[in-house]
Amino acid sequence: MKIRATALLLILILTSCTSQKNSETFMTATSGRYLFNANEVLEIYFKESIMLAKWRGNDALELLKVNDSSFYMKALNEKIVFVSQPKMHIELAPKTEHDGILYHFEKMEKGKKTPDEHFRAKEYNKALAGFINIQKEDSLNPYIKENRLNSLGYTFIRNKEYNAAIEVLKINTILYPESSNVYDSLGDAYLAQKDTLNAIKYYRKALDINPEKRNSKKAYKKLTSK
């Protein structure tokens, strides 16, 4: 804790001696969106030549300039370094807590979106492609966990956003085709939308994988006995 406080004090001393203004060339080169992780963006922009960031729903996070390429971001408690070669990207300055890992955030091409951003734009096929790519690169990535997507689907159901619920749960069935639970949840979404035929179809799929799936068994029997 003492080392961290000392490092922060040193950064504050350095920034107090450095002009927070940035050159036009630097601002043009660094402005834009950086892929913070597989499904999250850190956006860098400038106001009156002062560097600001948008991150995790927070706008106008000021970055304190340490030198011409390094800035301290309080929200991250990290010194970020802009590196122009081979392509513009951000690196976190090494520190003990990183355990020797080099953190590298690529600058995104203009117009590129994360899977979540495609989903919010109702570009469901592109969202699916993005989630599949994440799964190929890292099957344990928390953004594509079955439970996360399932929970998101039920949040949409509770909010009566049935189309969104169905689309996210469809994605879950493609990512996890051998899970009875994903089909059961999709059946629930169709049932909430009063689409009985599709509800029966997906409860049946859940039962094909797990004949003892209690919710599917009960719902399927009720819907098909009418």
| Model pLDDT for residues 138-153, shown as the tens digit of each residue | 999 999 999 999 999 9
pLDDT of 104 above 70:
yes
Residue 17, pLDDT > 90, answer no
Query: Measured between alpha carbons, how far is 125 from 185 in angstroms, rounded to an integer?
Result: 20
Q: At what angle do helices 214-224 and 180-192 cross, to 10 degrees?
A: 40
Q: Which residue has the higher pLDDT, 11 or 97?
A: 97
The percentage of the chain sitting over the pLDDT mark of 70, rounded to a whole number, equals: 91
Asked if 192 and 157 count as a contact pair (C-beta separation under 8 A), the reply is yes
- Which domains are delineated in the chain? 2-106 (no CATH), 145-224 (1.25.40.10)
End-to-end CA distance of the chain: 66
Residue 130, amino acid: G
- pLDDT, one tens digit per residue, over 24-82 is 999 999 999 999 999 999 999 999 999 999 999 899 999 999 998 999 999 999 999 99
Give residue 157's identity as a one-letter amino acid code. Answer: I
Section 184-198 average pLDDT: 98
Of residues 95 and 166, which shows the higher confidence score?
166
- Mean model confidence pLDDT for the chain: 91
The whole-model pTM stands at 0.83
DSSP string, 141-188: -GGG-HHHHHHHHHHHHHTT-HHHHHHHHHHHHHH-TT-HHHHHHHHH
In the DSSP assignment, the letter for residue 21 is: -
